[in-house]
Structure 1
Amino acid sequence: MRRSFTLSMLLPVAIAAFALLWLLWNFLPLSLPLKWLITLMGLAVAAGVLRSVWGRFATSASASETLLTDLPDGPVVLVMGKGLDALFGDKPVRKSATGSLHRIDSLASLRESVEQIWQHAPGQAGRLSVLFTCLPDQINDEGEFRAGIRSMRQLLGSLAEISGAALPLTVQCQLSGPTTPWFLNCGDITTLTDDEGNQQSIDDWQRQAGNIGHIPAIRQAAAFARHVILDELQKPDRLSPGIHPVALSLRLGAAALSQDSLWSEWLTRYAVMRYRTSIPDTMPARSFTEPLFAALAPLTFAVQGGRTARRVTGILLFCMLVAIACSVLNNRALIERTGMALQRWYAIPAESLAVRAAALSDLQQDALLLERWHRQGEPLRYGLGFYSGPRLWLTLQQAIDSYVPPSKQTPVAAPKIVRLDSMSLFDTGKSDLKASSTRMLVNSLVGIKARPGWLIVVSGHTDSTGSAQLNQTLSLQRAQAVRDWMRDTGDVPESCFAVQGYGADRPLESNDTPAGRAANRRVEISLVPQADACRMPDTTLSASQDDADEHLETE
Structure 2
Amino acid sequence: MRRSAQLQALFPVLICLAAIIWLICGFLKASALLKGGLILVACITALLIARRRYRRQRPAKAQQKSGIYPPEGFRGPVLLVCGSLSDNLFADGPCRATAQGCYLQVGTPESLSACADRLLIREPRMAGQLVVMFRFLPDLHVDEGALRASLKVLRQQVKLLKNLSGYTPPVVLTGEFSGPETPWIVVRGKTALVCPADEPALTLDEWRQLQESVTRLPYLAQAMRLLQQVVVDELSKPDRLCPSVAPFAVALRSGSIRSLSDALWPQWLFRHSALLPPPQVISYPPLWHFADPVLPLLAPFAMPLQGGTTGCRVVMVLLLCALTATGLSVMHNHSLIGRISSDLERWYAIPMTHYIPKAESLRALQQDALLLERWQRQGEPLRYGLGLYTGERLWLRVQQAIDTYVPPPPPPEPQPKPKPVPKIVRLDSMSLFDSGKSVLKSGSTKMLVNSLVGIKARPGWLIVVAGYTDNTGSPQLNQRLSLKRAEAVRNWMRDTGDVPESCFAVQGYGASRPVTTNDTPEGRALNRRVEISLVPQADACRMPGNTNASLQDDDVHDYEMEK
Would you say same fold, with TM above 0.5? yes
| In 1: Cα distance, 2:196 partner to 2:86 partner | 20
Q: CA 1:340–1:130 in structure 2 vs 1: closer, same or farther (change >3 Å)?
A: closer
Counting only pairs closer than 5 Å after superposition, residues 132-281 of structure 1 correspond to structure 2 as 132-160=134-162, 163=165, 165-178=167-180, 180-187=181-188, 188-193=191-196, 212-235=214-237, 237-238=239-240, 239-254=242-257, 256-275=258-277, 281=283
| In 1: Cα distance, 2:78 partner to 2:336 partner | 59
Give the alignment's TM-score, normalised by structure 2: 0.62
Counting only pairs closer than 5 Å after superposition, residues 428-467 of structure 1 correspond to structure 2 as none
Q: CA 1:298–1:356 in structure 2 vs 1: closer, same or farther (change >3 Å)?
A: closer
The percent identity for this pair of structures is 36
Q: CA 1:391–1:119 in structure 2 vs 1: closer, same or farther (change >3 Å)?
A: farther
Q: CA 1:282–1:186 in structure 2 vs 1: closer, same or farther (change >3 Å)?
A: closer
Instruction: Report what 2:107 is aligned to.
Output: 105
Equivalent position SS for 2:243:
coil
Counting only pairs closer than 5 Å after superposition, residues 3-152 of structure 1 correspond to structure 2 as 5=5, 9-59=9-59, 63=64, 67-70=69-72, 74-83=76-85, 86-89=88-91, 91-118=93-120, 120-152=122-154
Q: CA RMSD in A?
A: 3.6
Q: Could you tell me whether the CA contact under 8 Å between 1:193 and 1:200 is conserved in 2?
A: yes
CA drift of 1:122 comes to: 4.6
Instruction: Report what 2:435 is aligned to.
Output: none
Equivalent position SS for 1:87:
coil
Q: CA 1:294–1:322 in structure 2 vs 1: closer, same or farther (change >3 Å)?
A: closer
CA drift of 1:137 comes to: 2.1
Equivalent position SS for 2:254:
strand
CA drift of 1:29 comes to: 2.4
Residue identity in the other structure for 2:252: S
Q: Could you tell me whether the CA contact under 8 Å between 1:75 and 1:127 is conserved in 2?
A: yes
Instruction: Report what 2:461 is aligned to.
Output: none
CA drift of 1:46 comes to: 1.4
Give the alignment's TM-score, normalised by structure 1: 0.63
| In 2: Cα distance, 1:72 partner to 1:313 partner | 25
Equivalent position SS for 2:104:
strand
Residue identity in the other structure for 2:185: L
CA drift of 1:331 comes to: 1.8
Equivalent position SS for 2:133:
strand
CA drift of 1:316 comes to: 2.8
Structure 1 residues 189-214: Cα deviation after superposition (integer angstroms, max 9, x where no partner): 433556xx788978699656xx7544
CA drift of 1:79 comes to: 1.0
Q: Give structure 2 stretches of 5+ with no counterpart.
A: 414-563
Q: CA 1:108–1:261 in structure 2 vs 1: closer, same or farther (change >3 Å)?
A: closer
| In 1: Cα distance, 2:284 partner to 2:344 partner | 95
Larger mean CA deviation between 283-292 and 90-99 belongs to: 283-292
CA drift of 1:94 comes to: 1.5
Q: Could you tell me whether the CA contact under 8 Å between 1:177 and 1:253 is conserved in 2?
A: yes
Equivalent position SS for 1:36:
helix
| In 2: Cα distance, 1:361 partner to 1:270 partner | 94
| In 1: Cα distance, 2:358 partner to 2:245 partner | 74
Q: CA 1:390–1:264 in structure 2 vs 1: closer, same or farther (change >3 Å)?
A: same
Instruction: Report what 1:397 is aligned to.
Output: 399
Q: Could you tell me whether the CA contact under 8 Å between 2:77 and 2:129 is conserved in 1?
A: yes
| In 1: Cα distance, 2:172 partner to 2:72 partner | 24
Q: Could you tell me whether the CA contact under 8 Å between 1:218 and 1:252 is conserved in 2?
A: no
Equivalent position SS for 1:80:
strand
Equivalent position SS for 2:226:
helix
Q: CA 1:279–1:86 in structure 2 vs 1: closer, same or farther (change >3 Å)?
A: same
| In 2: Cα distance, 1:332 partner to 1:98 partner | 57
Answer with 1 or 2: which has the greater Rg.
Answer: 2
CA drift of 1:281 comes to: 2.5
| In 2: Cα distance, 1:225 partner to 1:337 partner | 69
Equivalent position SS for 2:103:
strand
Structure 1 residues 303-326: Cα deviation after superposition (integer angstroms, max 9, x where no partner): 324443443333333323322222
Q: Give structure 1 stretches of 5+ with no counterpart.
A: 411-555
Q: CA 1:361–1:108 in structure 2 vs 1: closer, same or farther (change >3 Å)?
A: same
Q: Could you tell me whether the CA contact under 8 Å between 2:77 and 2:131 is conserved in 1?
A: yes
Equivalenced residue count is 404
